[in-house]
Every structure is written in C-alpha cells, then in structure tokens.
Amino acid sequence: MAVLLLLFLMIYGVRVACKTPQRLRRFVDVACWLYGIASAVLWLIVRETADRWWPATVFLFGPCWLWSLPLLPLAVAAAWVRRQALWVLLAAAWIVLFPVLGLQVPWRLAIPHSQSGQRIRVLTCNLHRQDAGALAAVVAATQPDVVAIQEWSGLQPLPAFGRGDWHCSVVGELLLASRFPILKVDNLAVQHWPEPGEAVRYELETPGGRVPFINLRLASPHPQLEDLRWHSPTAPAELQDNSLLRLQQSRIIGRYAEDLGRLTMLAGDFNTPQGSVILRQCWSRFANAFSTAGCGFGHTYHTPWVSTRIDQILAGSAWRCRRCWVGPDVGSPHRPLIADLEILARPGN
C-alpha cells in the first residue's frame, strides 16, 4: 500500500511540475525512450564485456533486479498520459526480464519421449560446508539418481547416502553419490591447475552403458567482490584475475569434457551467472538444463540483496533435458538444482 501511495505521489508531483498536459506527455515520452535506450545499451555492454571488464562483472554478480524498478512507474505514467510509449516500455521490459535478469520460459511444451528409455535425474548443490540434514530431505523427496555436492566438509555423516543402493566418492570438497556404480575417478584440478577451484571426472556404469560425469566448482569471485564492497584498492585487479582464472578453468574442462563424447554430463558450481562471456565461449557446446527446460529465473544463489544462477547442469548432445527446477533452501546460500535428462540415442562407438 505504501509503495502504491509513493508511486501516486511521484506521478502527481511530475504532473504538477510539468504544469501543462503537453509538457507531461513530453516528459513521459522522453523518460520511456531514455529507459528503453539505456536498457538496450546495458544489455549490450554486459553481453560483450561481463567477465572481461570488471565493472560489467560487478553488475553481473550484483542486484540486477534494481534495473527493473523504473518499469512500473513508467508503465503507469505512460498508460495515464502517453499510451504510445507503452510499446517502448514493452521492448525494454523484454530486454530487462529475459537477457538481463535471465527469465526462462519453456518453449518446448510437448516433447515426445525418446525410444531409448534411459533417464537420469541429477541434483547438484554447493552445501557451503553446512549440515547435510536438510539436503537429505530434498534427496528423499526428489529421488535423484546422481547427486553432485560441492564444498563438502568431509566431517559430516552421509544420512542420505548411507544405504547400500548408493555409491559414493569424495575427493577434496567434492562429493558424488550415485545409484550407479562409479568405475573411474580422476582429479582433474590436480592435473591442470592449483587451487582455487576443483573438478573431478567420474565414469558411471548405467543400464545403457558408461556415462562420463564431471563434478566441478570453479574459482569463486565472492572474496574479490566482498573486497570491492569495502573499497579495497586491489579488488578490481583481483576480480579481473578471477575472471581470467575461471575462463582458463572453463576452457580446460570444456575441451576435456567435449573429448569424452556426446554422453558427457557436467554439474556443479560454475561461479558464473548467465550472461557471462565465459559461459558463451566455453560451455555453449553443451545443453544447459535450466536454459532449455526450466521456468522462471532459476536463481540458485541467494544473499539478502542478490539472487542469481551460478550453479549449472550441462549435458552433451546425446542427452535431452525434459525438466529442470530449483529446490528449496537447505541452509546454504546455494539452492539445489535438479534436472531430468533422457538419452536421445546411443552414440556409435
């Protein structure tokens, strides 16, 4: 109610200040066009420079929802005195909601089932070293086949995976729990780069054959963003170095995963929001589960001011995602991301 009252007072104040209806219409028209042009310019800047230029990277990880706040008062004002400007606002709303904020609408409403019959439900979550009890309830409710956890403390019991129908592997702070036997475990991070960041490759023995699976957590930019918040003079350069490190890690793992074949799956904390150049350059060869079958914004990382999607489930071209959704709060800043994948066709040997 208070927001509506404030909105009315703002519009009324503008109308009084403009004195004449002609000036008011001109003011609203100019404001709508400026907002539309600014939204398009912002989108292009973020698309081309995020994770290349540190101010754009800050915006990508920041409270992007603030950019949508002018939409409501401008739409009310345009509907009141300048309805032609609503078309400009409609275009601006599309830019803000979809490319900038990452809204997803499932475009494949009816997908025929594949003839292979093989489906795998994958769950990934960065526990942030929190208690796994809440996650155990999510696992029990969703019944995934593969669970990829990052920032596993190593000191926690395995309440959800202690039964005999689970196979588990813990390497560093990465835990993989699978209902399929785990035949092979390779620590890729040790082979290719020092800390920070982890990546482990597994081979799962599924009823349809062996499936390569990679659980990863790329280098986190959050310490650098926190330093920037407290005006550290070295924070911009450190944030740029982190973007470069995530790019290098993504290139290494992306090429390695592509060489594993079309059946490869990847899941984990990519520490990279949608809209980053890194995702477009290094991971576009894989289908992004939420981008193809999710609905909504799909935010997996939450703080009091920022919500974004930095956790991903990716799959090679032999897989198709039928559904992807974000799970409930499990005590970590990250929410579980869950996807149902089915195999389209077994690739030839």
Q: Which residue from 158, 114, 96, 167 is spatially nearest to 132, judged by alpha carbons?
A: 158
Torsion angle of alpha carbons 295, 300, 303, 304, nearest 10°?
A: 20
How many C-beta atoms lie closer than 10 Å to residue 100's C-beta? 22
Number of neighbours of residue 252 by Cβ within 10 angstroms: 17
pLDDT reported for residue 11: 55
Give me the residues paired with residue 319 across strands. Answer: 343
Residue among 55, 40, 44 at smallest CA distance from 96: 40
Q: How many other β-carbons are positioned within 10 Å of the β-carbon of residue 226?
A: 11
The count of residues in the chain is 349
Per-residue DSSP letter, 203: E
Look-up of token digits 């990279």:
272
Query: In this structure, are residues 55 and 16 in contact, taking their beta carbons and an 8 Å threshold?
Result: no
Three state DSSP letters for 245-270 = HHHHHHHHHHHHHHHHCCCCEEEEEC
Nearest to residue 245, comparing CAs of 283, 271, 266?
271
Helix (H) or strand (E) holding 337: strand 337-343
List, in order, residues 6 or more apart from 267 with CB less than 8 Å away: 122, 124, 146, 148, 213, 214, 215, 216, 312, 313, 314, 337
User: How many whole angstroms separate alpha carbon 156 and alpha carbon 147?
Assistant: 16
Whole-number pLDDT of residue 209: 87
Write down the CATH number for the domain with range 119-343: 3.60.10.10
DSSP 332: S
CB proximity list for 84: less than 8 A, separation 6 or greater: 29
User: Measured on CA atoms in the order 134, 136, 140, 142, is the torsion positive or negative?
Assistant: positive
Per the structure block, which two tokens stand in for 301?
């990382």
Residue 141 CB neighbour total at 10 angstroms: 10
Domain boundaries defined on the chain: 2-100, 119-343
CA distance 256 to 187: 13
Rounded to whole angstroms, the Cα distance separating 45 from 242 reads 19
Per residue of the chain (349 residues), give pLDDT as tens: 434 444 454 555 555 555 556 777 788 888 889 999 999 999 999 999 999 999 999 999 998 888 888 888 888 888 888 788 889 999 999 999 999 998 998 765 555 555 556 899 999 999 987 777 788 889 989 999 999 999 987 656 565 665 668 898 999 899 999 999 999 999 998 888 777 899 999 999 998 889 999 999 999 999 999 998 888 999 999 999 999 999 999 999 999 999 999 999 999 999 999 889 999 999 999 999 999 999 999 999 998 889 999 999 999 999 999 999 999 999 899 999 999 999 886 555 4
Contact call for residues 346 and 117 (beta carbons, < 8 A): no
Q: Which of 75, 76, 108, 104 is nearest to 91 (CA)?
A: 75
Alpha-carbon distance 42 to 70, whole Å?
14
Neighbours of 67 (CB within 10 A): 20
